[in-house]
Amino acid sequence: MFRIVSAREAIDSIPSGATIGINSFLALSNPALLHDALTDRVRETGSPRDLTLFCAAGFGGWDETRFADPYIALGAVRRIVAGHYASSHAATRMIRENKIEAFNLPLGAASHTLRAAAAGDDGILSDVGLNLFLDPRIGTCAVNERSRAAGYADELVRHVEIAGRETLYYKAPRIDVAFIKGTSCDPNGNISMENEYLTVDALAMAQAARRAGGKVIVQVDRVTPHFTRPRSVIVPGILVDYVSVDDAADRTASLDPAMDGDLHVPASHMDYFMSRLSVQKKPRSLIDESADIIGARAARELKPGDVVNIGIGIPETVGRHASKVGILKDITMTVESGGVGGLPAPGLSFGATIGADMICDMGSQFDFYDGGGLSVCFMGALEVDRYGNVNAHQSSAAFTGLGGFANITNTTPVVVFCMTFTTKGLEARRKDGRVEIVSEGSIKKVVRDVAAISFSAKNALRHGQRVLYVTERCVFQLTERGLALAEVYDGIDPDRDIQAHLDFNLSRVCDTIDA
């Protein structure tokens, strides 16, 4: 039987050594009240300690004072298993300093392990991750030396062969405590999420905790005397142990009705609703026109009837150009967090969908992706090498994590990487269809060998995928011989502006085009 208690009362039930499952997608659907109460308890009592955090997506808010980062910084967490890390600044700092263990799994695989845990299964089998950095034959899902020394990576991911077929085994987590954010709690403890942008994997998370004999703690905006329509219930009351009410929550409306489904947005109005979110974007790292040039060229790969996924960062510009040229009404956008239709929200709202037709559980969205449901995807890249391999999760300066990248790119027929040719100091301008490199970046992004493999050219060639790498000055494509120059923009000299900055010789099958 569920109880309505203060957040602190609920948090006091968490023992040291527990695994907390966080049902969030970065800052979205993240139960801040529960995180804050846990931080307060750790500050006041020094416990609980040695916690493990499990989150299929990510749980940070791009701010060290929000969500789990404060109690991570206080030393309460021993280990993190997650798909994405960049939004958790304290966590990534402590990972770099080798103070906590961290393991990185593909978001879709991690999401599906929750369902396995709910069913009492030991884990799942998936082709996603083969020949990538986390494949034990190539590398490890352990992020730092402390993690590698712990040996836990060998349990999390194993390479196996079944009936002559190679695949990866992902271990299901044991969830001792589930942290879930909902909107309303009805008299039977049923949880609905009418004002949330996402459900993430709330039901599977709660079921996994119940299967393990753990606790389910739900933060809601309100309790209501009215019973919820059955199809609106996301987590039934039979799975809920504690409900904590956020007294500061707005009980009249969601933050943005265009993203929780209360307001449907037609394609003709998308530019307006996108502009409303501009204040929530992260500061742009680019001060030139590179991202816009890339987005405009990449958007030409869209065709009517396409089902599309667009990644965070430079790929977000593809959505804006799709809206500008009028093709948005003829394609279907999706987001790995569960949105189908509409347009992915940018910046700090990434994961939400403006004007979605449907918002499903994240695990169901990855069923669709893994099954080849997408027509084309647009992804970012930190670097690409001579073979066409892509590193999208790790640089010398930072570790972002793989997120949904591996699942999305694994079976999609057309994969378009959106990236600058160089970075740190790059400035490009476009005028009358010509591109000028005003100043070159000091860091090369097209390299001889990538530091880690997030996308395998070997896999792509075997799957027969069409792979493009769109930059602000040219377009590369994947061939049997590796990376090849396919297009050079008008105003760009192939030798001076491209080949001169490479440590290997490019093969060329190129045309000159307007940017």
Q: Annotated catalytic sites, by residue? A: 336
> Would strands 353-354 and 222-223 be described as parallel, antiparallel, or unpaired?
unpaired
* Gap between the terminal Cα atoms of the chain: 62
Name residue, tokens 């996994």. Answer: 208
Task: Give the DSSP H/E element, type plus range, for residue 320.
Answer: helix 316-325
- For 65-84, b/e burial (b = at least 16 CB within 10 A) is ebbbbbbbbeebbbbbbbbb
Phi, psi dihedrals of residue 288, rounded to the nearest 5°: -120, -165
Q: Measure the CA–CA gap between 216 and 310, rounded to whole angstroms.
A: 33
Q: Measure the CA–CA gap between 346 and 379, rounded to whole angstroms.
A: 14
Which residues neighbour 367 within 8 Å (Cβ) at sequence distance 6 or greater? none
Name the residue among 49, 54, 24 with its Cα closest to residue 38.
49
Q: Measure the CA–CA gap between 30 and 282, rounded to whole angstroms.
A: 19
Q: Measure the CA–CA gap between 508 and 476, rounded to whole angstroms.
A: 9
Question: What phi-psi label fits residue 362: left (phi over 0), alpha (psi between -120 and 50 degrees) or beta?
Answer: alpha
Which residues neighbour 493 within 8 Å (Cβ) at sequence distance 6 or greater? none
The partner residues of 383 in beta bridges, in order of sequence, read: 391
